[in-house]
Structure 1
Amino acid sequence: MENEKTLKSPQNGPISYSTQSFLKFLIPSIIGLLLFVIPLPYGENFTIGVGAMADWFRGNWGELLPGFMTIVVAVAAVLTVLAVVFKPAFVTKNEFWNKLLIPSAFWTISRILGGIFIVMTYLELGPAAITSRATGGTILFDLLPTLATWFFFSGFLLPLLMEFGSMDYFGTLIRRFMRPLFMVPGRSAIDAVASWIGSGPVGVVITNKQYQAGYYTTKEASIIAVCFSLVSLPFAVVVAGFLDLSHVFLQFYGAISVASLVAALILPRIYPLRSKKSDYHPASTKRIHEEVPEGRTLHQYAVERGVSRAMEARGPHYLVADGLRTVIDVYVGLMPLVMAWGTIALIVTEYTPIFTWASYPFILILQALGVPGAVEAAPSLVVGFADMFLPSILVANLEFEITRFIIGAISFTQLIYMTETGAVILRSDIPLSFKDLVIIFLERTLITLPIVVLIANLVY
């Protein structure tokens, strides 16, 4: 390759870059793709690099994570109360700490509840409705350690995927498909793959950061967050094994993928996503341009976009500082919310008939679709709003394999889980309300259910 090339930008005039600049784009981008997008062999399965790191860490120090997260969530609650009451100058005068430690009343209450619940659960104090393994114990000992490790490694390593041009490169290449089909920029495909192969909540974090930086409009960020942030491929392997579906895993994940793609085609064109504004984050100044200028091939311009973005990347110490802020924000801002509302959702599931009552319309739908065991399976279509794994638990012992296949797949396509993806979305700057998430959850269920049932009937 030549040492010098020229980028002709309509806004900024010619930009020159060297082979060194090209390598600055190429090497971190390849590492970022290996960490977040490209599945690698790991044990008997495949996972992405960050997933392997998280699994390795949990395998060696996983027993320490519940105690560590108890301290983190409890301290977050105490610091929030102190900051809200006394408003110390070092907090109010710093934008990051002010936003983190002096949140709205809802978030303050959520952190206090999360702090109380996690201490009670870890010490096994108080009523079993809060502390049992089916409620608070599930959140503390199963969910929080997984989220903590994923977000720790992702927080520090995401810049390799986001800051060095890979999203600009691939986004430019596939814009012609993403825009007409899903009404989003091409770069959103990286979000989608990072979610499908890696982690849905991490995909939301990527989307939120891109929205804050001005790469997505409000409408685009909303579409990406609730259409592409699916639960990961490695976890699909776990669920398939739990439901005794490993022998049909390719068909199982194929059903998830096809149904989710159909939902992604429909949802941006109906309420509430259709009504979201096409403006940008109020704090952003950047605006994305993926159109190919005259005189370049698509690939030439994609490379130019990637290199140009890499040339703008800041030094390692800035990226580490950003990563640290991301991890702190997730640990202090998100983990108490997951503990509080995840526990409440599981209490409602375990100790009240609310989800059973809400499932009555789905009994009729499942019966109309000819699904065996419709009465027993219907509640699992509703409880998925609380937590992704609950539907599989409810049907694990159901005798009809086709029904286990259907419910397991739907639990992925529903996407909105208040213990994970939903909580991350509400915590983000993306303007999706709780009401929006309820509506989208129901829409995704109604859109994807017939598709999954059709595919299941082809398999069985």
Structure 2
Amino acid sequence: MNTDFTTKKKNGTAVEINSSTVMKFLIPSLFGIIMFLFPVPYGGAISTPVGVVSEWLAGALKAYLPYAVVAITSISATMSVVGTLLKPDFVMNNRLLKANFTPSNFYLFWRIIGAIIAILVLNKAGSEMIYSIDTGGTMMSLMATLIVWFFAASYLMPFLMNYGAMDYTGTILRGFVKPLFKLPGRSAVDLVTSWVGNVNVGVVLTRTQYNTGYYTGREAAVIATCFSAVSLPFCLVIAAMLGLDAMFVPFYLTVMVAGIISAIIMCRIPPLSTLPDVYHPAVGKQIDEMEPEGMSKSQWALQKAVQKAHLTGGMQEQFQSGTDIFLGIIFSLVPIVMAWGTLALMVATYTPIFTWISYPFAYYLHFMGVPEAFEAAPATVVGFADMFIPAILASGLTSIKTKFIIGVLSLVQIVYMTEVGTLLITSDIPVNFKHLVLVFIEKTIIALPIIVIMANILL
């Protein structure tokens, strides 16, 4: 490839754009794109290569994964007590140990609770409210699966992030994504990653991009709460649970339309619009998608991609990057998600709280002419605890239209405490529990009329 332009390394030496440097960007980036974004048929549904690998590992290790959850939560709790309270040199002088085992007192408490809950669930000890299949049993199964997903994604994610794929895509798509969603172009990769793959992988990708200076706090919050979508395979599962698999095309079309329109609106209103629009203070701004004057967008995109790939180290460095991501996830998130997710499901299963707070939405559904409005109302808010529960509640309804509306809504709401909510709160992204509650309510209010209109048109 003959070109007459170069890009600069941080140390000032020129990086010539030729066949060799382009291939260093292209080959690993294509591998990452294929692994995360290429749709493949698997198990009667559409998945991605990273999904196939994860599902295969989950099946092969199924009998051992609950013990892995207990081991991880126990190690996290024990080492965090040692690191936080005793501060021994072997922890404080080791980068990985210090990063993973010196949490605040607040998170130390919840790591301990998460370990206790995991042990109780594994042994079916204590109250059935904790280890029931509707509460802790669900979370144990979920965490066992997520550990495998995060393992595969953590070691493959560097190929998507570190070799220029996001830099190239971001520059090319900036003119489309920026005016619609007020986001950098590279966020489009997040959208596709979670849309065809796994929403949690999309959120982890967003967290990592914020931590490395490629998103501001506001941008990361918008992407994680609005721009990430629920994966196609999960949409198929929800449609099947509600008996709507025969009308999956209009069902999924409605998910896409409601998700995109609500994201366009929500990125422009509080609380998301008022979050700090600044980069992570530890690294500062690292993104530059605007092409210089006199240079085409495609030339600048290629320059940014080649520069990123040239600055990227060898496979040992990428393995270390994957290890950092994976350990940061399992030791900080697994015990917290286990604790908060189980408690959220206990509230949803054994208390009438979600029924009480759903009354305003019952009148909202009734105003829009939705059949069985009052019976369906709890399903509009219980998705804040977990996205499976709305479909479970809606499965008992008789109206196909109402099942359709509730099923789509549960997939558009996205924010749920058993996974995404906890991933966000425990990250450095500047969102808290109150923000997530407001985002969930706003998205429900905004998306419901869109979904009802689509249901009236398509059914």
Q: TM-score range by the shorter chain?
A: over 0.9
| Cross-structure match for 1:57 | 57
Q: Alpha-carbon deviations, 1:87-125, whole Å to 9, x = none? A: 111222334422321211221111111111111111011
1:347 aligns with 2:346: yes
- Partners of 1:189 and 1:203 lie apart in 2 by 11
Offset of residue 176 of structure 1: 0.5
- Partners of 2:139 and 2:241 lie apart in 1 by 19
3-state SS, counterpart of residue 257 of structure 1 = helix
| Cross-structure match for 2:117 | 117
- Partners of 1:390 and 1:262 lie apart in 2 by 24
The number of residue pairs the alignment matches comes to 458
After TM superposition, list the pairs within 5 Å mapping 1:204-215 onto structure 2: 204-215=203-214
Contact between 1:384 and 1:390, CA under 8 Å: does it hold in 2? yes
Question: Any unmatched runs of 5+ in structure 1?
Answer: none
| Cross-structure match for 2:411 | 412
- Partners of 1:385 and 1:364 lie apart in 2 by 19
Q: Alpha-carbon deviations, 1:134-181, whole Å to 9, x = none? A: 11001002x112211110100000001000111111111110111111
After TM superposition, list the pairs within 5 Å mapping 1:106-255 onto structure 2: 106-141=106-141, 143-255=142-254
- Partners of 1:104 and 1:342 lie apart in 2 by 20
Contact between 2:183 and 2:219, CA under 8 Å: does it hold in 1? yes
3-state SS, counterpart of residue 336 of structure 1 = helix
Contact between 1:5 and 1:18, CA under 8 Å: does it hold in 2? no
* Amino acid aligned to 1:273: L
Q: Alpha-carbon deviations, 1:189-230, whole Å to 9, x = none? A: 001111111111111111111111111122211211111122
After TM superposition, list the pairs within 5 Å mapping 1:71-82 onto structure 2: 71-82=71-82
| Cross-structure match for 2:31 | 31
Offset of residue 13 of structure 1: 8.2
| Cross-structure match for 2:293 | 294
Q: Alpha-carbon deviations, 1:308-350, whole Å to 9, x = none? A: 2111111111111121121111111001111101110111111
* Amino acid aligned to 1:147: L
* Amino acid aligned to 2:242: L
| Cross-structure match for 2:310 | 311
Offset of residue 43 of structure 1: 3.5
| Cross-structure match for 2:335 | 336
Question: Any unmatched runs of 5+ in structure 2?
Answer: none
Contact between 2:258 and 2:450, CA under 8 Å: does it hold in 1? yes
| Cross-structure match for 1:265 | 264
Percentage of matched positions with identical amino acids: 43
Which aligned runs of 4 or more in structure 1 are off by greater than 4 angstroms?
8-14
RMSD in angstroms over aligned alpha carbons? 1.7
| Cross-structure match for 2:273 | 274
After TM superposition, list the pairs within 5 Å mapping 1:353-368 onto structure 2: 353-368=352-367
3-state SS, counterpart of residue 62 of structure 1 = coil
Offset of residue 403 of structure 1: 1.1
Offset of residue 275 of structure 1: 1.1
3-state SS, counterpart of residue 384 of structure 1 = helix
Q: Which moved more, 1:283-292 or 1:415-424?
A: 283-292
Offset of residue 459 of structure 1: 1.9
TM-score (norm 1): 0.96
Q: Which moved more, 1:372-381 or 1:82-91?
A: 82-91
- 1:376–1:298 Cα change, 3 Å: same
* Amino acid aligned to 2:362: I
Q: Which moved more, 1:32-41 or 1:111-120?
A: 32-41
Contact between 1:195 and 1:228, CA under 8 Å: does it hold in 2? no
- Partners of 1:61 and 1:10 lie apart in 2 by 44
